[in-house]
A = this chain, B = another copy of it.
Amino acid sequence: MALFNFLPKEEQYFTLFTRMTSHVYDAARALAVMLADKSGVYTEHIERIKVIEHACDEVTHTVVTRLNKSFITPFDREDIYMLSGALDDIVDLIDDAARAMVMYDLHESTKYAIQFADVLQRMAVHLHEVVSMLERPAGIMPRLVEIHRLENEGDDVYHAAIAELFRHTSDPLTVIKWKDIYEKLESAVDRCEAVANIIESIIIKNS
C-alpha cells in the first residue's frame, strides 16, 4: 500500500519530516552527551543543541510555508501542520531542558535525567523509522506500539525521579530546579507519543 503518491514532487513533505526526525534524534543524542559530560561545563553542548533547534525551526517554517502555498485537502493539511508542530515541540523542549541546566547553574546530571535522555533517543530512532515508512506504512504498527511503551517507560522515570527528589533533597531550590527540568523532559516524551498518535491517524484515514 503506497499512500501519498498522488503528491507532486514539490510537495514531498515526507522528506521534510524525516529531516525533522533526524533533528529530534540529534537533539536527544546531544542532550545525552551533555549529561554524560563529567566536566560540568555545558556551554558547547548548549550551543550545539541550539544549532539543532534552529535547523529544526527552519524545516518547520518550510513545511508551514509550503503547506500554505499548496492545494491539499483541509484535513490532511491539519495533520501535516500538527505533525511538524509536534516534532518541533520535541526539539524545543530538549533545548529548554538543556538550557535550564545552565540557567539554574547546575553542573552535574542525575541518573534520572540520563534515563530520560536515553528514552528520548530510543523514541527518536522509532520516530525516524516510522516517519520514513509513512509512504509505505506496512509494518508500522509494532513501532507505534513501541513508542507508546517507551512513553510509559518515560512516565515511570518521571515518577521515580520526582519521588526521590522530594524524599532525598534537603535544599528546596534544588528541588524546584530539577522538578522543572524533569517536567520539560517528560513533556518531550509526551510529544513523541503525540507524534505516534498523529501518524496513526494519518494511516487510518488513508487506508
Interface residues of A (CB under 8 A from B): 64-65, 68-69, 74-75, 77-78, 99, 103-105, 159, 162-163, 166-167, 172-173, 175-177, 179, 197, 201, 204-205
Contacts of A179 in B (CB 8 A): 176
Interface of A is mostly: helix
Asked if B64 contacts A201 (CB within 8 A), the reply is yes
Asked if A159 contacts B99 (CB within 8 A), the reply is yes
Asked if A103 contacts B163 (CB within 8 A), the reply is yes
26 A–B pairs (Cβ distance < 8 Å), ordered by A = A64-B197, A64-B201, A65-B204, A68-B201, A69-B204, A69-B205, A74-B74, A74-B75, A75-B77, A78-B78, A103-B163, A104-B162, A104-B163, A104-B166, A105-B163, A105-B166, A105-B167, A166-B173, A166-B176, A172-B172, A172-B173, A172-B175, A172-B176, A173-B175, A175-B176, A176-B176
Query: Copies of this chain, how many?
Result: 3
Contacts of A204 in B (CB 8 A): 65, 68-69
- What would 11 more interface pairs be, CB under 8 Å, given A105-B163, A173-B175, A176-B176? A64-B197, A74-B74, A75-B77, A78-B78, A103-B159, A103-B163, A105-B167, A166-B173, A172-B172, A172-B173, A172-B175
Asked if B177 contacts A166 (CB within 8 A), the reply is yes
Contacts of A68 in B (CB 8 A): 201, 204-205
A64 to B205, CA, bound (A): 10
A173 to B170, CA, bound (A): 9
Contacts of A163 in B (CB 8 A): 103-105
